[in-house]
Amino acid sequence: MRSIDAEELRATVSMAEAVDAVREALRGHAAGEFEQPTRTALADGGFLVMTARHRPSETVMVKTLSLNPEREPVITGTVVWAESADPRNLVADAISVTTLRTGAIVGVATDALAPRAADRMTLIGAGAQAADQFRAVQAVRPLREFTVVARDPARGEALLDRLGGELDGITTEVRTDIEDAIADTDIVCCSTSAHTPLFRAAALPERVHVNAIGSYRPSMRELPTELLGGARVVVDERAAIYEESGEILHALETGAIRETGLTELGELLGASEPVPENGRTVFKSVGIAVQDWAIAKLLAAKFLAGQE
């Protein structure tokens, strides 16, 4: 059994590699290559078990998570990789895999949906997921401006300090007022544990791409219903969204959107028609096991291939 800790994983897998791997896995998911049960949630999402089997390669990923917003770190757990033809297993730190793959899918969605010239990003939230949200967007849309919105400005400044040299050449700012921060931007990333919408739809520019990855329970909402009703809405997977996304469920219940109006990201990647460069686009993700499989596959290729 090969065990990989957070430091080793970060030193081995770049965000650009992760974005490419998740993009290819989503295409495979849309093509029916995966067996992926809806994840098991216990204690109202306090414990999660996610599994994915890739049929062509006969490989399996199993992730177990413990989530507690009142605890530091919020997320703990393990990711296990197994292959039918290989008796060796790989075990990786789930926190690093989760933040990396969550960033990566935002990179995939931003690359597919944001204007090609987009270079201004506003990030709402400065928690554990925040740094990889920046890295993922930067990997597909090199940024000129980066604004962090945090209730505690010290947390926003700490995030900028952690990113350090990754911010070279980028104008940065920390704000506390969300609507002021999103009024003139190209890309908004929401990474919070909010239970009510973070802003009014009217506060956004007419052309903007919004990613939302923070809420993962039916009782949680980061996005206003009015935004979803007037935007092109793309999700990671409908089945997962119907189980866990509070903002999507609320928008469906109120009639603001219809199920036929939702597009899965994997489907979009395989579409021949380009996304229009006008209007608002939204990507909502609650996380699916195929993303974790993609990162685990990268690790297996780097740490298991060629070893006795």
Q: Per residue in 245-261, pLDDT tens?
A: 889 999 999 999 999 98
| 101, 106, 110, 113: CA torsion to nearest 10 | 110
Q: Inform me whether the pLDDT recorded for 140 exceeds 70.
A: yes
Q: Inform me whether the pLDDT recorded for 278 exceeds 80.
A: no
Nearest to 126 by CA among 193, 180, 66: 193
3-class DSSP assignment, residue 19: helix
Measure the CA–CA gap between 183 and 82, rounded to whole angstroms: 47
> Do 52 and 240 form a contact (C-beta atoms < 8 A)?
no
Percent of the chain with pLDDT over 70: 98
- The residue with greater pLDDT, 87 or 146, is 146
Output the pLDDT for position 41. 83
Task: Calculate mean pLDDT across residues 152-176.
Answer: 97
Q: What angle do CA 44, 48, 50 make, to 5 degrees?
A: 140
Query: Exposure of 272 by Cβ count < 10 A (0-12 exposed, 13-18 middle, 19+ buried)?
Result: exposed
Per-residue pLDDT reduced to its tens digit, 28-86: 999 999 999 988 889 987 898 999 999 999 999 999 989 888 888 778 999 999 999 98
Output the pLDDT for position 307. 56
Residue 255: which region, alpha, beta or left (left: phi > 0; alpha: psi -120 to 50)?
left
> Do 222 and 215 form a contact (C-beta atoms < 8 A)?
yes
Report the amino acid identity of residue 15: M
Output the pLDDT for position 39. 82
What integer best gives the mean pLDDT of the chain? 93
Output the pLDDT for position 145. 98
Tokens of residue 238, six digits: 């409908």
Measure the CA–CA gap between 115 and 142, rounded to whole angstroms: 12
| SS3 per-residue string spanning 119-138 | CEEEEECCCCCHHHHHHHHH
Measure the CA–CA gap between 51 and 49, rounded to whole angstroms: 7
Nearest to 112 by CA among 303, 291, 268, 217: 268
3-class DSSP assignment, residue 258: coil
Tokens of residue 120, six digits: 């201004």
| SS3 per-residue string spanning 149-188 | ECCCHHHHHHHHHHHHHHHCCCEEEEECCHHHHHCCCCEE
Per-residue pLDDT reduced to its tens digit, 168-199: 999 999 999 999 999 999 999 999 989 999 99
Task: Calculate mean pLDDT across residues 124-143.
Answer: 96
Output the pLDDT for position 122. 98
Output the pLDDT for position 69. 82
Output the pLDDT for position 270. 81
Q: Inform me whether the pLDDT recorded for 1 exceeds 60.
A: yes
Q: Inform me whether the pLDDT recorded for 274 exceeds 80.
A: no
Q: Inform me whether the pLDDT recorded for 308 exceeds 50.
A: no
| Residue where the block lists tokens 């597009």 | 263
Q: Inform me whether the pLDDT recorded for 305 exceeds 80.
A: no
| Residue where the block lists tokens 């380009």 | 274
Task: Calculate mean pLDDT across residues 4-30.
Answer: 96
| Residue where the block lists tokens 């969605």 | 109
Please give the model's pTM, rounded to 2 decimal places. 0.93
> Do 133 and 189 form a contact (C-beta atoms < 8 A)?
yes
Output the pLDDT for position 306. 55
Judged by average pLDDT, the poorest of 36-40, 98-102, 207-211 is 36-40
Task: Calculate mean pLDDT across residues 4-18.
Answer: 95
Measure the CA–CA gap between 145 and 296, rounded to whole angstroms: 32
